[in-house]
Amino acid sequence: MPSVELSAGPIDFEDTGGDGPVLVLLHGVPMDGRLWRRALPYLGGFRVIRPTLPLGGHRQPMRPDADLSQQGVANILGDFLDALDLHDVTLVLNDWGGGQFLINADRTDRIARMALVACEAFDNYPPKAARPLAVLSKMPPLFTAALQLLRLESFRQMSSGYGGMSVDKSYHLYDDLVHGWFAPALTDRAIRRDFIKFAGGAPGREELLELAEGQQKFTKPVLVVWADQDTMMPAEHGPRLAAHYPDARLEIVKDSSTLVPIDQPELLAGLLRAFVVDQSVLGGRGPVDPVREEARDE
């Protein structure tokens, strides 16, 4: 996997290449680009870039002095876009909503549009189910002990946690994904240090709401995609985001929880395609074989 060295440390990424419109697909906590592997086969004609941000699922630790607060990670994302010299980017957020803080930092020159897919917003950093980890981040030994519970499939699949983030129980690889996402923090002390820094790095409620108000200055197109069975993101935040941004529209996806790229990959890819550009501009390329592509992405 290629990597780019930033001032905060190395960022691994996957890049399909090509000269199509650029999609930068982001992930949640503590995930990586594999979140999108079911949707990727339906995004032919795009240049799809999937960075692994330092949200706890990364495999190369950041420098010890790296700012891994919510706004710090947003700036790392901005540095990543700069390092790859990307332009006219469609920035797609899912679960983690911190990419919106690039607006507050006046770092949206490279971003042509944003898609907010069942992600954190307003004062929901972190979502309610993740707040115990934020508290435990102040006590690293207890944080480390709590992580050990993620070794148990029964704990990983609790409906109040990661088990509730996907409704597609036929997707037999989902638990393998969750287990893999937590593996770096479970086995590498430096990654765990980064995860702890991020988990405790959210601003307070009043500051979050002030930052959200400042994000209204983003006047470029915004697609809000909200899931009808989401357990992490409040249902009212979808319509609220669509009203919040000056040029935004809302799509409600049925039979999906937070991880829409897993629950409704083809539908989500179609929404992104329609949002970015007409099919004819992409040369009429249809989806490739999802099974083959998913196997290749293991």
pLDDT over 70 percentage in the chain: 91
Q: How large is the average pLDDT for residues 125-136?
A: 92
- Between the two ends of the chain, the Cα-to-Cα distance in Å is 12
* In the predicted structure, residue 290 carries a pLDDT above the cut 60: no
Instruction: Look at residue 279 in the predicted model and tell me its pLDDT.
Output: 37
Which strand ranges, in their side-by-side order, compose the sheet holding 9-15? 3-6, 9-15, 47-51, 22-25, 89-95, 111-119, 222-227, 248-253
Instruction: Look at residue 283 in the predicted model and tell me its pLDDT.
Output: 44
- Residue keyed to tokens 């540095």: 79
Mean pLDDT of the chain: 91
Instruction: Look at residue 174 in the predicted model and tell me its pLDDT.
Output: 78
Q: How large is the average pLDDT for residues 172-184?
A: 85
Cα 133 to Cα 138: distance, rounded to the nearest angstrom:
9
Instruction: Look at residue 285 in the predicted model and tell me its pLDDT.
Output: 43
Task: Band the pLDDT of 172: cuts 50, 70, 90.
Answer: low
* In the predicted structure, residue 123 carries a pLDDT above the cut 50: yes
Task: Band the pLDDT of 169: cuts 50, 70, 90.
Answer: low
Alpha-carbon distances, residue 94 vs 15, 204, 288 (angstroms): 18, 22, 23
Structure tokens at 36: 């999108």
Is residue 112 within 8 A of residue 220, CB to CB? The reply is yes
Cα 78 to Cα 105: distance, rounded to the nearest angstrom:
9
Instruction: Look at residue 173 in the predicted model and tell me its pLDDT.
Output: 65
88 CB-near residues (< 8 Å, 6+ apart): 21, 22, 110, 112
**Which residue stretches of the chain are H helix?**
70-83, 101-104, 131-136, 140-148, 153-156, 174-187, 189-199, 205-214, 237-244, 260-263, 265-276, 290-296
* SS3 at position 262: helix
Task: Band the pLDDT of 220: cuts 50, 70, 90.
Answer: very high
Residue 25 pairs in a beta bridge with 92
* In the predicted structure, residue 178 carries a pLDDT above the cut 70: yes
Instruction: Look at residue 158 in the predicted model and tell me its pLDDT.
Output: 83
Pairing status of strand 47-51 against strand 22-25: parallel
Q: How large is the average pLDDT for residues 255-283?
A: 85
Q: How large is the average pLDDT for residues 31-44?
A: 96
Instruction: Look at residue 77 in the predicted model and tell me its pLDDT.
Output: 98
Task: Band the pLDDT of 153: cuts 50, 70, 90.
Answer: confident
* SS3 at position 224: strand
Task: Band the pLDDT of 241: cuts 50, 70, 90.
Answer: very high
